[in-house]
Chains A and B, each alone.
Chain A
Amino acid sequence: MRPALLLLLGLWSGTLAVPRLAAAQAAGAALTQGVRAYDDLEFEQAAGLLRHALAVQGSGALSGADVSRALIYLTATELLRDRRDSARAIARRLVLMNPRFRPDELVFPPQLLLLYEVVRRATPAVIGEASADTAIRPGSEAMVVRLYASSVHDIAATLVALDGHVVRTLYRGPIGDSLVVPWNGLDSAGTNPPPTGAYALTVSSFNRDGRVVRILRMPVEVLPSPTDTLPHPPPPADSMLLPERQPIGPALRVLAPGVLAGVGVAVLPGLVARGEQPSGARFAVGATVTLASIAAFLSHRPGRQIPANVAHNRVIRDWRRAVADVARRNAEQGRGLIGVRTGVPVILTPGGTGP
């Protein structure tokens, strides 16, 4: 019974795992076979295999570099199959996906290189890169966004709020191969950083007619100044301060009964036995009680230092001082800083505007 269960479990897990693995291998293998078919001039087969490789989605999909490779091979295949429109559309897709891509001149024929160059020039697009998470001091420091263009064209880079209003125009002008766009962390007035929150860096690409044909949109989040860059010292096992001197309360608590009893011995007999003169024997008891309570009071040694507690408290005070020092240094370091976090950029094509 047990081996049968194990076998069933193995088959079940294999059933779950194999298709995913197979898909990943299939996309890569299809790309490899497609490239081989292209090299063998089997264009029909190459096109099918390359399209199949590109169609795989999810975890088994091709990597970004492989997608670019598959697309350029597919462009070349379609071109060599004399399907220029299809080749042009695929090349355009490649430009939009990766504006920095350039086909290898040693691998692809000149007509492919020419076609891709024509498409690239006719497809203005920009991709950007920035630090995923950084902190700057507004006004004196800047975060930079590197823009890479598919071709020379005009762009406008702006930081916009989610409601659409422009926070700061960062650049407006031509871009060649690449461009570094800095942002000093201030708003359009140049005086204050924008409030913390979500923003977007948009880079609009213009065609020769001055129309926006592409928009790069990169999420930007402005964060409060990062704090606690220095770690706090570890707390001691017990962070409660202890009394350093013997408290007087317990001593008074043992003194009070004796003193009260002593006073009672002197006063109460006269109240109870009116008209009589109580004997002096009562003072023997009163003195005994009072002396015993004084001895008890002194045995508590009120006000005397407790060395163990003094040492314990010294450790805690040192720790608290260190924590305060770290907090102060963190505050100094964090003063005036803002955090900037960027997300993954996407390229948008406004409807009906671009080639």
Chain B
Amino acid sequence: MTRQLRFACAALFSALTLTPQLRAQSRWTVSFGASGASEILHSRLGTAQARLSGSQFGGEALATRGRFAARLRYGQGHVTSDTAARDVVQGEALVGYKARSWLGLWLGPRARTFVAPGLSDRRWLFWSGGVTARGAIFPGYLDSFVEMWQGFSGTLNRPASSASGRGVDLGVEARLPKRRWWVRLAYHIDQGRANDSHRDTVEGLALTVGRGDLISSAALQRSREYPPSSESPCAEGAGRRAQ
């Protein structure tokens, strides 16, 4: 674990333990969602490059309490080209803090594994930090969001080397009036690099349907009308899958 990562973890731990809002927290709220995405993988190794495309399906869970949140995502799919095919498995486990009604901070590991027949798995693992900005378009019904993350440290297992990575999600999130269903349309792109000679870039268009107290513009409105101690889940991004 690098010095930056230790610092980030310490900062988050301090925020979790010292903030007075902890006392005002009310209850846990949980949201679940299922997603389907169209994925494109751009893989470069030296001068060789490949473009594979396919689909991916997954699920996510978001738990929030006051300003704090935890997010789990998992997905797996299959990408192919004319000459190659790979299975993709990816996931993330993040903890978050809602610094403002429109701004959330995330911290945690993201991983993605490519499985190719006859070859050992190639796995990217990043300890990352990210921010999510959110704005209401039709308050209570439709929000837009942007989430960007950067890896503090990362590894690639084959060939074994350190890695760097970053990514971005953008999209809209709609809620059905007076119901707890929500729909998210998002575009995501992220890239992992190892020794400048090897990089995998994954982009995709994802549609997620979920149910529960997901962050929404209604929650944003509540947090604008009332002090932030009110129940309002942490902002979260959508659609992208961790490497």
Residues of A within 8 A of B (CB): 253-254, 256-258, 260-261, 264-265, 268-269, 271-276, 278-279, 281-282, 284-286, 288-289, 292-293, 296, 299
Q: How far is the CB of B172 from chain A (nearest CB, A)?
A: 5
Please report whether the interface of chain A is mostly helix, strand, loop or mixed according to DSSP. Answer: helix
Q: How far is the CB of A285 from chain B (nearest CB, A)?
A: 4
Given contacts A258-B135, A273-B203, A285-B186, 14 further A-B contacts (CB under 8 A): A256-B135, A257-B137, A264-B170, A265-B187, A269-B203, A272-B148, A275-B199, A278-B203, A281-B187, A281-B203, A282-B203, A284-B187, A284-B205, A288-B185
Please report whether the interface of chain B is mostly helix, strand, loop or mixed according to DSSP. Answer: strand
Across chains A and B, the number of contacting residue pairs, with CB separation under 8 Å, is 104
Q: How would residues 157 to 175 of chain B score, 1 for a CB under 8 Å from any chain A CB and 0 otherwise?
A: 0000000001110111000
* Complex Cα spacing A299 to B139, Å: 12
Cβ of B194 under 8 Å from chain A: no
Please tell me if the beta carbons of A282 and B191 are within 8 angstroms of each other in the complex.
no
Instruction: Identify the 7 closest CB pairs spanning chains A and B, nearest first.
Output: A257-B135, A285-B187, A261-B144, A282-B187, A257-B144, A273-B191, A269-B189
Please tell me if the beta carbons of A258 and B189 are within 8 angstroms of each other in the complex.
no
* Complex Cα spacing A289 to B133, Å: 14
Please tell me if the beta carbons of B146 and A293 are within 8 angstroms of each other in the complex.
no
Q: Which residues of A contact B190 (CB under 8 A)?
A: 272-273
Q: Within the complex, which residue of B40, B142, B168, B186 is in contact with A292, where a contact is CB–CB below 8 Å?
A: B142
Please tell me if the beta carbons of A272 and B135 are within 8 angstroms of each other in the complex.
no
Q: Which residues of A contact B137 (CB under 8 A)?
A: 254, 257-258, 289, 292-293, 296
State whether A289 and B138 are in contact (beta carbons under 8 Å apart), knowing that A261-B170, A278-B203, A281-B203 are contacts in the complex.
no
Cβ of B211 under 8 Å from chain A: no
Please tell me if the beta carbons of A288 and B167 are within 8 angstroms of each other in the complex.
no
Listed by A's residue number, 29 A-B pairs whose Cβ atoms lie within 8 Å are A254-B135, A254-B138, A254-B139, A257-B137, A257-B143, A258-B135, A260-B144, A260-B146, A264-B168, A268-B146, A268-B168, A268-B170, A269-B187, A271-B168, A272-B167, A272-B190, A273-B190, A273-B191, A273-B201, A276-B42, A278-B189, A279-B40, A281-B40, A281-B204, A282-B170, A285-B205, A286-B170, A292-B172, A296-B138
Q: How far is the CB of A273 from chain B (nearest CB, A)?
A: 5
- Give the residues from 87 to 139 in chain B that come closer than 8 angstroms, CB to CB, to chain A: 134-139
Q: Which residues of A contact B203 (CB under 8 A)?
A: 269, 273, 278-279, 281-282
Q: Which residues of B contact A282 (CB under 8 A)?
A: 170, 187, 189, 203, 205
Q: Which residues of A contact B76 (CB under 8 A)?
A: none
Q: How far is the CB of A200 from chain B (nearest CB, A)?
A: 65
Please tell me if the beta carbons of B191 and A274 are within 8 angstroms of each other in the complex.
yes
Q: How far is the CB of A324 from chain B (nearest CB, A)?
A: 38
State whether A273 and B170 are in contact (beta carbons under 8 Å apart), knowing that A257-B144, A279-B40 are contacts in the complex.
no
Cβ of B145 under 8 Å from chain A: yes
Cβ of B25 under 8 Å from chain A: no
Q: Within the complex, which residue of A272, A273, A293 is in contact with B144, where a contact is CB–CB below 8 Å?
A: A293
Please tell me if the beta carbons of B144 and A258 are within 8 angstroms of each other in the complex.
yes
Cβ of B38 under 8 Å from chain A: yes
Please tell me if the beta carbons of B146 and A261 are within 8 angstroms of each other in the complex.
yes
* Complex Cα spacing A327 to B136, Å: 49
State whether A289 and B144 are in contact (beta carbons under 8 Å apart), knowing that A272-B168, A273-B201 are contacts in the complex.
yes
Please tell me if the beta carbons of B136 and A254 are within 8 angstroms of each other in the complex.
yes
Q: How far is the CB of A99 from chain B (nearest CB, A)?
A: 79
Q: Which residues of A contact B144 (CB under 8 A)?
A: 257-258, 260-261, 289, 292-293
Please tell me if the beta carbons of A276 and B205 are within 8 angstroms of each other in the complex.
no
* Complex Cα spacing A269 to B204, Å: 11
Q: Which residues of A contact B136 (CB under 8 A)?
A: 253-254, 257
Q: Which residues of A contact B185 (CB under 8 A)?
A: 285, 288
* Complex Cα spacing A225 to B22, Å: 65
Q: Within the complex, which residue of A254, A273, A284 is in contact with B189, where a contact is CB–CB below 8 Å?
A: A273
* Complex Cα spacing A85 to B96, Å: 112
* Complex Cα spacing A195 to B185, Å: 81
* Complex Cα spacing A299 to B144, Å: 17
* Complex Cα spacing A282 to B203, Å: 9
Q: Which residue in chain B gives the minimum CB-CB distance to A271?
A: B168
Q: Which residue in chain A gives the minimum CB-CB distance to B165?
A: A272
* Complex Cα spacing A278 to B187, Å: 11
Q: Which residues of B contact A271 (CB under 8 A)?
A: 168
Q: Which residues of A contact B170 (CB under 8 A)?
A: 261, 264-265, 268, 282, 285-286, 289
Q: How far is the CB of A62 from chain B (nearest CB, A)?
A: 74
Q: Within the complex, which residue of B38, B139, B172 is in contact with A289, where a contact is CB–CB below 8 Å?
A: B172
Q: Which residues of B contact A293 (CB under 8 A)?
A: 137, 144
* Complex Cα spacing A293 to B135, Å: 10
Q: Which residues of A contact B146 (CB under 8 A)?
A: 260-261, 264, 268
* Complex Cα spacing A272 to B185, Å: 20
Most B CB within 10 A of own CB, among A268, A281, A285, A299: A285
Q: Which residue in chain B gives the minimum CB-CB distance to A284?
A: B205
* Complex Cα spacing A258 to B138, Å: 10
Q: Which residues of B contact A260 (CB under 8 A)?
A: 135, 144, 146
Q: Which residues of B contact A276 (CB under 8 A)?
A: 42, 191, 201
Q: Within the complex, which residue of B38, B148, B191, B201 is in contact with A281, where a contact is CB–CB below 8 Å?
A: B38
